[in-house]
Amino acid sequence: MTFQRARSEEQRAIRRRAILDTAAAMLDEMPVAEVSLNELSRRVGLAKSNVLRYFESREAVLLELLDAFLESWLAQLADELAAGVDAQASPEERAGQLAEVLSRSLAERVVLCDLFGAQGGVLEHNVSVEVVKRHKRSSLTRLAAMTDLVRRHLPELDDGAQLFCLMSLVSAGALAAYVPPPPSVLAAYEDEPALGVLHLDLRDALRTSFTAALVGVLPRA
């Protein structure tokens, strides 16, 4: 697409939306690390200098997408937890159900996990203090929403719910870096299967991580 100069707030909002939508489409094709400002500019039909009128850097674009994806996921997670956690079950059973729902839900959203993994080490660099402050405020709001959701289905966590939510998102980002393994690693596993004994797919790895975390914060009888 090719844009004329934006002359109104509505037109500027359309440009911003086009940039975000284009970046989101790129993330369906490639990992966060491969999304470049040059390619984003080419695909959206704007000069790189014009893209920078709307977002100060590639990282600023991706931070805004992270927030949007996280908001969308939490809205869907509310329904998934309502359907997947039995309110009449014991705390231990509900903890297992919670871990199952979260692991399945996040494993289906590899792009979101990839963004989590890049957040601290990449995306929060090359951005201004104002962008960081805006992102952190939004992140705290999303974390509070997730904490409320988790506490609703497992109130026994009490103050441990926020820590569990924070660590679950960190774990999702870290584990997503290993999925899928690069071709050289897959070839090594095929050539010598014993090397892959500890390899798990993302959903299994997340379930194991979440279950272990819940065991640590769930109060003992």
What CA–CA distance (Å, rounded) separates 162 from 96?
Answer: 18
The pLDDT value recorded for residue 23 is 97
- Gap between the Cα atoms of 56 and 58, Å rounded: 7
Instruction: Give the pLDDT of residue 119.
Output: 94
Residues for the chain: how many in total? Answer: 221
State the pTM of this model: 0.88
Per-residue model confidence (pLDDT) at position 7:
63
How many beta carbons lie within 10 A of that of residue 23, not counting itself? 23
**10-residue mean pLDDT series, the chain (221 residues):** 62 92 96 95 94 95 97 97 96 94 96 94 94 96 97 92 94 88 90 87 92 79 51
pLDDT of residue 86: 97
Q: CA-CA distance, 127 to 202, in Å (whole number)? A: 30
Give the pLDDT score at 12: 87
Is the backbone peptide bond immediately before 91 cis, with ω within 30 degrees of 0?
no
Predicted confidence at residue 197, as pLDDT, reads 84
Residue 75 has what pLDDT? 96
The predicted pLDDT at position 218 comes to 74
> What is d(CA 95, CA 111) in angstroms, rounded to the nearest whole number?
26
pLDDT attached to residue 8: 74
pLDDT of residue 220: 62
Predicted local distance difference test score (pLDDT) of residue 52: 94
Per-residue pLDDT tens digits for 99-115: 999 999 999 999 999 99
Token representation of residue 55: 């977002």
